[in-house]
């Protein structure tokens, strides 16, 4: 056992998944450094949620990097000309014919992990946590285990630390978990989900629409886990 806890950079969006990951990283004994992005997302309230969550989790530091992905475009989450899909009668997975949701932000996880990599190198951290999960990777290419493995390999060639043999690990503790399991795990670790925001179209006060893919998936998770849903809905 090292004298001081190892450091980990934890990607924290302020949503249900990343908040659970932060609790898991803490539970595993890491000193946590939370990293959020102000990337032109529509649901900007999530950054306030991230700050609250980071503070309650007593992270060593919480950094918010401003990065205007909206200038790149290509996603309903950052481009106001692309509509956020509402669930259709057939179910929550309202994705286009190619199976990749319009809420996919091009190269988002690659970009976020790259910035986490830069910070981890400055901190001397060898661990990065990211909340990608089984449900996401059904549609988002950058949520799949083979992507994460390729990123980790690249990262170990990219940095001074990697060259010097202090290799980096990308942890994806949620990757094989359902929303139900995630909610159960977080509840067990004492996570207060009332301050997390998952909705793609939350209002300025962080109230969820209850109709988008993210809302339906989240609500189903609480229901299946048998945990009372603390989400604040618009109606």
Interface residue list for its own copies (CB under 8 A): 63, 65-69, 71-74, 98, 100, 104-111, 113-115, 117-119, 121-122, 141-142, 144, 146-147, 150-151, 153-155, 157-160, 162-164
Residue 227 bridge partners (DSSP): none
Burial of 67 (0-12, 13-18, 19+ CB in 10 A): middle
Could you tell me the smallest distance in angstroms from the CB atom of residue 124 to its own copies?
Answer: 10
- Alpha-carbon dihedral angle through residues 37, 41, 45, 51, given to the nearest 10 degrees: 0
* Six token digits for residue 9: 């950079």
Residue (74 or 210) nearer to its own copies, CB: 74
Q: What angle do CA 175, 177, 181 make, to 5 degrees?
A: 150
Please answer whether residues 139 and 109 qualify as being in contact, where contact means their C-beta atoms are separated by less than 8 angstroms: no
Residue 170 bridge partners (DSSP): 128
The Cβ of residue 203 has, within 10 Å, a number of other Cβ atoms equal to: 13
Could you tell me the smallest distance in angstroms from the CB atom of residue 218 to its own copies?
Answer: 24
Q: Are strands 31-38 and 127-129 parallel, antiparallel or unpaired?
A: unpaired
- Alpha-carbon dihedral angle through residues 217, 219, 223, 229, given to the nearest 10 degrees: 150
Q: How far is CA 167 from CA 13, 94, 128, 159, 172, in A?
A: 25, 39, 11, 9, 16
Please answer whether residues 101 and 92 qualify as being in contact, where contact means their C-beta atoms are separated by less than 8 angstroms: no
């Amino acid at each position: 056992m090292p004298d001081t806890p190892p450091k980990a950079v934890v990607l924290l969006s302020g949503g249900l998944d990343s908040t659970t990951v932060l609790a898991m990283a803490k539970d595993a004994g890491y000193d946590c450094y939370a990293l959020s992005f102000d990337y032109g997302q529509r649901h900007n309230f999530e950054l306030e949620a991230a700050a609250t969550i980071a503070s309650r989790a007593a992270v060593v530091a919480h950094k918010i990097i401003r990065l205007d992905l909206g200038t790149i475009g290509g996603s309903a989450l950052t481009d106001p000309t692309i509509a956020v899909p509402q669930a259709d009668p057939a179910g929550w997975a309202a994705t286009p014919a190619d199976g990749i949701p319009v809420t996919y932000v091009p190269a988002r996880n690659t970009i976020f992990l790259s910035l986490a990599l830069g910070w981890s190198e400055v901190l001397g951290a060898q661990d990065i946590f990211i909340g990608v999960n089984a449900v996401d990777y059904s549609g988002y290419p950058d949520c799949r285990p083979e992507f994460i493995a390729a990123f980790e390999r690249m990262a170990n060639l990219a940095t001074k630390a990697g060259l010097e043999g202090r290799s980096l690990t990308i942890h994806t503790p949620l990757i094989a978990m359902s929303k139900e399991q995630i909610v159960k795990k977080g509840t067990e670790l004492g996570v207060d989900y009332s301050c997390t925001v998952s909705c793609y179209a939350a209002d300025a006060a962080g109230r969820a629409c209850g109709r988008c893919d993210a809302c339906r998936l989240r609500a189903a998770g609480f229901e299946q886990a048998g945990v009372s849903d603390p989400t604040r809905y618009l109606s």
